[in-house]
Amino acid sequence: MINLILFGPPGSGKGTQAKTIVEKFDLTHISTGDLFRYEIGNKTPLGIKAKKYMDDGLLVPDEVTIGMLENKLDNSNNPNGYILDGFPRTIAQASALDAMLKERGTKVTHLIALDVDDNEIVKRIMERGKTSGRADDRNEEIVRQRIEQYNELTSPVYGHYDKFGISKKVDGIGEIDEIFNRIYDALTVPVCDSQECN
């Protein structure tokens, strides 16, 4: 079983890579950004609440996000495992995830962080904004706000899982296939969770 957190700043290519990883390993893809956009599209109370934060480039409050994620986990049961894309984005979300998975007799097995510098990210997101239909991709100030939220609130999640020896960085610059191969290698190298392999 693989329970992968696909990690990295906005615009680092998580969604693109998740599609291929899902096919290769037959996993279920859970993207909190997509879940929020679905709720917004259906004008649900959750969507209306989330939209205010997303439009401003801010994280949606933890209790809203954690509740939505737990709901999704309850409604999807894949023995091969999951790719979490865009979750957890805070230490509180990581702790809640660990508890949720423990209750279900499983745990996070890998965190792979796509490494891309801020200038490249802004360039990519502004380019994506031309076709994505996402308002939060079109305004540079909002994009920079999202990067700031990532640096402040999300990047510590890497260290949270690094304590368990399961965090890895992958160079996120290059051709899509090339980056996929790096992720594939990171996923298939045996994970060491015993003292002896150190």
Contacting residues toward ligand ADP, per CB under 6 A = 10-11, 32-33, 36, 53-54, 58-60, 65, 86-87, 89, 93, 146
What is the rounded distance in angstroms from the CA atom of residue 107 to the CA atom of residue 1?
10
Annotated catalytic residue, options 24, 52, 102, 134: 134
Q: Is 128 a catalytic residue?
A: yes
Q: In whole angstroms, how far apart are CA 91 and each of 66, 98, 127?
A: 12, 11, 30
Minimum CB separation of residue 54 from ligand ADP in Å reads 4
Annotated catalytic residue, options 51, 89, 124, 168: 89
Measured in degrees and rounded to the nearest 5, phi and psi for residue 92 equal -60, -40
Minimum CB separation of residue 189 from ligand ADP in Å reads 26
Residue whose Cβ sits closest to ligand ADP: 33
Nearer to ligand ADP by Cβ, of 30 and 166: the residue is 30
Q: Is 14 a catalytic residue?
A: yes
Measured in degrees and rounded to the nearest 5, phi and psi for residue 7 equal -115, 160
Annotated catalytic residue, options 51, 124, 146, 182: 146
Minimum CB separation of residue 146 from ligand ADP in Å reads 5
Find out whether 135 and 55 touch, Cβ atoms under 8 Å: yes
What is the rounded distance in angstroms from the CA atom of residue 104 to the CA atom of residue 106?
6
Q: In whole angstroms, how far apart are CA 196 and each of 160, 192, 193?
A: 22, 9, 9
Minimum CB separation of residue 139 from ligand ADP in Å reads 12
Nearer to ligand ADP by Cβ, of 3 and 32: the residue is 32
Q: Is 134 a catalytic residue?
A: yes
CA atoms within 13 A on the CB side of 24: 15
Measured in degrees and rounded to the nearest 5, phi and psi for residue 159 equal -65, -35
Q: Is 138 a catalytic residue?
A: no
Nearer to ligand ADP by Cβ, of 69 and 187: the residue is 69
**Catalytically active residues, by annotation:** 14, 89, 128, 134, 146
